[in-house]
Every structure is written in structure tokens, then in C-alpha cells.
């Protein structure tokens, strides 16, 4: 399998940026999930599970290492006040260095999230990932079927197929070495509407649960940093 696309999502749950190449460090793609938006009143990190409108804003990493957020109206949010006005609640943009408590929420029943219970969970250390075993996420075009790629927010999009069988193996991706830890379980995020005509669609998650055991994509940790480029091949590593 070869790398078709490389993606970085500087702010958790916001749209990201496609790259021709990226440095992969111990926390994943450099700059990926380095920031998150926190609800000041509750202390929870906001994701598109709780605030679907997040997917309509976009983030990129500036050369100075800070995130730039473009709101749905095309304006750039220059401070927390602008983000709070947009979201209708007091929020704060924080980097991984600024917070120690990483609590997020997930609906217990995605079919009835408006009336059902929400479960808190602890995100990983380092980048604002849901799992410490998924510093880098990889997904093939074939596994996406006819679903929109944006729903799954993978860092590495691959051609070919069969990435599920790589769980438990060590792989070389460009100059980086990855330990593939697990298949990634999916949540209500994949059902959310997004720009470009992507509609709310609960059948995406229903199908993943029914036919794929609730998982789509694989998650890996980084054992040796390096650069990955489009066109690089994902290879078994025997070193």
C-alpha cells in the first residue's frame, strides 16, 4: 500500500490541512491535534460529538507554530472571544502544553444522543488524541467504500486494502517506524454533517457496527520518528 494523502488536524474536531509531506514524531504527525477547544463552564474538551458545528471551521498550522482558525463565515478567529461568540458559549483554545486534564464526552447511544446519557472519557497524553494507541491513524480508500473520506479524519490515506491485518505488526512508513496497535473503533463523529454537501447520516455508523465490528482504520504509535511523503510505501519492518 502506498500513501495517497497526508493530513494534519491542528485543532481537535476542526477541519484540517492536506500536506505533501509531514514529519512524524512520537506524538504523531507534527502539529496534529496540538490544540483543542475547551468549554470553560464544564472543563470538557469540545469535539464534534457534542458540538457538530466544529466541523465547519478549519485550522492550519502557521510557520510560527500556532494554529490559525478560520470560522465558517470566512473570518479568522483571533482570540477566545471570537470562538466564544461563534459557539455561543465561553470557550478557550488551549495547546497540549497548557492543560493536564483531558476530559471529553461521547454519547452512550448515538441513535438517541439528544435524550440519552453522555459518558466522559480521558483523552491521551501528548497530542489531543482519544487513544494513546493511535498517535497516527491510517485508512485505505478501499475500506472507506463509497463514504466520504472527510468523515474519518485519518492522518494517512492509503491505496490498496487490507490494513486491518496489520494490527500487532511493525511497519515502515517513509522514514518513520510505526507499531500498529489496534483497529480504531468509531463513534457518532462519522455521522456528522460537514462542508461540501456531506449530510448527517446515521447509516454510516450503523453499517460499521453491523459489518465491521464497530472499527474502521488502524491506529499506531511511533517507535522511530521520520518524514512521510505522498507516494511512500507502507512496508513491513523487520529491523
Alpha-carbon gap, residue 153 to 174, rounded angstroms = 20
Alpha-carbon gap, residue 44 to 222, rounded angstroms = 27
CATH superfamily label, 3-236: PK beta-barrel domain-like (2.40.33.20)
Task: Give the model's pLDDT for residue 164.
Answer: 94
Q: Is 145 helix (H, G, I), strand (E, B) or coil?
A: coil
pLDDT digits (tens, 9 = 90+) for 163-208: 999 999 999 999 999 999 999 999 999 999 999 999 999 999 999 9
With 0-12 / 13-18 / 19 or more C-beta atoms within 10 angstroms meaning exposed / middle / buried, residue 70 is: middle
DSSP element (H, E) containing 212: helix 202-212
Question: Residues near 197 by Cβ (< 8 Å), separated by ≥ 6?
Answer: none
pLDDT digits (tens, 9 = 90+) for 34-65: 999 999 999 999 999 999 999 999 999 999 99
* Domain-wise residue ranges, the chain: 3-236
| C-alpha cell belonging to residue 49 | 460529538
Instruction: State percent of the chain over pLDDT 90.
Output: 91
Mean local confidence (pLDDT), 106-121: 91
Neighbours of 69 (CB within 10 A): 22
pLDDT digits (tens, 9 = 90+) for 116-139: 899 999 988 899 999 889 999 999
Task: Give the model's pLDDT for residue 127.
Answer: 94
Task: Give the model's pLDDT for residue 103.
Answer: 94
Alpha-carbon gap, residue 161 to 156, rounded angstroms = 13
Amino acid at each position: 500500500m502506498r500513501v495517497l494523502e497526508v493530513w494534519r488536524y491542528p485543532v481537535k474536531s476542526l477541519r484540517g490541512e492536506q500536506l505533501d509531506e509531514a514529519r512524524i514524531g512520537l506524538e504523531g504527525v507534527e502539529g496534529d491535534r496540538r490544540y483543542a477547544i475547551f468549554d470553560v463552564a464544564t472543563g470538557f474538551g469540545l469535539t464534534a460529538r457534542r458540538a457538530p458545528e466544529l466541523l465547519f471551521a478549519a485550522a492550519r498550522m502557521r510557520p510560527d507554530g500556532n494554529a490559525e482558525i478560520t470560522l465558517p463565515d470566512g473570518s479568522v478567529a483571533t482570540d477566545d472571544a471570537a470562538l466564544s461568540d461563534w459557539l455561543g458559549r465561553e470557550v478557550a483554545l488551549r495547546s497540549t502544553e497548557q492543560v493536564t486534564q483531558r476530559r471529553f464526552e461521547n454519547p452512550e447511544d448515538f441513535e438517541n444522543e439528544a435524550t440519552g446519557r453522555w459518558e466522559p472519557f480521558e483523552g491521551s497524553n501528548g497530542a489531543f488524541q482519544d487513544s494513546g494507541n493511535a498517535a497516527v491513524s491510517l485508512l485505505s480508500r478501499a475500506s472507506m467504500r463509497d463514504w466520504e473520506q472527510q468523515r474519518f479524519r485519518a492522518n494517512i490515506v492509503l491505496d490498496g486494502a487490507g490494513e486491518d491485518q496489520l494490527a500487532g505488526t511493525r511497519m515502515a512508513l517513509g522514514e518513520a517506524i510505526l507499531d500498529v496497535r489496534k483497529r480504531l473503533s468509531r463513534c457518532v463523529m462519522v455521522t456528522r454533517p460537514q462542508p461540501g454537501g456531506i449530510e448527517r447520516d446515521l447509516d454510516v455508523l450503523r453499517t460499521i457496527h453491523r459489518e465491521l465490528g464497530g472499527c474502521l482504520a488502524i491506529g499506531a504509535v511511533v517507535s522511530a520518528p521520520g518524514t512521510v511523503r505522498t507516494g511512500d510505501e507502507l512496508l513491513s519492518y523487520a529491523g
